[in-house]
Structure 1
Amino acid sequence: MTRFDAADTAERRKLFAEAVLAHRNRGSQFLTIEVDPADVPGVDADDEDEPVAVPWIQFAEKTFNLDCDEAELDRLKDLLSEFPECRIDQIERPEEAEGTNVRITARSDANRLGQFADRALQVTYGLDDDYRAWVTQI
């Protein structure tokens, strides 16, 4: 991979698909995609006093992993009807943490997985079409 961020739908999906392929080819433990803090709704990225909760999604082998609140989980569940190859495998609500951790089994090719990662981030976290995402770990 030669680039690690993208800010339009086609480029993000291409980036995410390339990251899935790189993850598979390298046999890495997982890959991580993070949203640019400046693109998170309702967050002032310049406010140093308020920590920014950056949406992220990880992929390992055939599983996506992300954290969300209840409203975000509802949006994620609705999205799954568009991706029949993806299903929620596990939902955890740890007492010591705010929110929910969701694991989604996804069996498909890299392009389709890239599409899912893009839509999952956008729909779950209410991001605009031009949000910037970074592949931060492969």
Structure 2
Amino acid sequence: MTRFDADEPTERRKLFADAVTAHRTRGSAFLTVEAREPAQAVEFGEDAGGADGGEGEPAPDEPRAPPWIQFAEKTFNLDCTDGELDRLNELLEEYPEFRIDGMESPEDAEGTNVRISARSDANRLADFLERAFRDVYGRPEGYRAWVVRV
């Protein structure tokens, strides 16, 4: 890969597909993608994925890391608040070939780690990544995606 970020929907999908292909070609342990706001990193909960103030959502003044998704061996791994988990389940209805393999909600964590089996081609996986960042985490159209590890 020669580039590691993109901030336009078509370019992000291409970036994601290239990252999946590089991951598979290299046989790396996993790849990780982060999504950041257009101008700068997200620093507070009110901008971090459409927090709705519901159970499991961060308070507006609590710092929150940008959302991330990992992919390894035909499996996505991501962390979700309760609201994000609801949106993820809705999104998965559009990807019948993907299914949740496991969820863990440690007592000391404010969310759920979700593992999704995703056996598909690089373009379909890239489409899911884009939709997850937009629909699950509420990123705006101009968000910047970074492939931080391949």
SS in 2 for 1:82: coil
The percentage of aligned residue pairs carrying the same residue is 64
Q: Is the 8 A contact 1:39 1:131 kept in 2?
A: no
Q: Is the 8 A contact 2:35 2:139 kept in 1?
A: no
Match of 2:58 in 1: none
Match of 1:30 in 2: 30
Indicate the RMSD between aligned Cα atoms, in angstroms: 1.8
The counterpart of 1:77, out of the listed 60, 81, 89, is 89
Inter-partner Cα distance in structure 2 for 1:124 and 1:100? 13
Is 2:30 aligned against 1:6? no
Deviations 1:52-77 (A, max 9, x none): 42100000010000001000000000
Deviations 1:27-82 (A, max 9, x none): 000000001253647349xxxx9644210000001000000100000000000111
Match of 1:42 in 2: 46
Is 2:127 aligned against 1:115? yes
Inter-partner Cα distance in structure 1 for 2:24 and 2:98? 18
Is 2:66 aligned against 1:54? yes
- TM score, norm. by length of structure 2: 0.83
Higher share of residues assigned helix: 1
Aligned residues: 134
Inter-partner Cα distance in structure 2 for 1:54 and 1:112? 23
Match of 1:15 in 2: 15
Inter-partner Cα distance in structure 2 for 1:54 and 1:104? 20
Deviations 1:92-127 (A, max 9, x none): 101111111000000100011000011111111111
- TM score, norm. by length of structure 1: 0.90
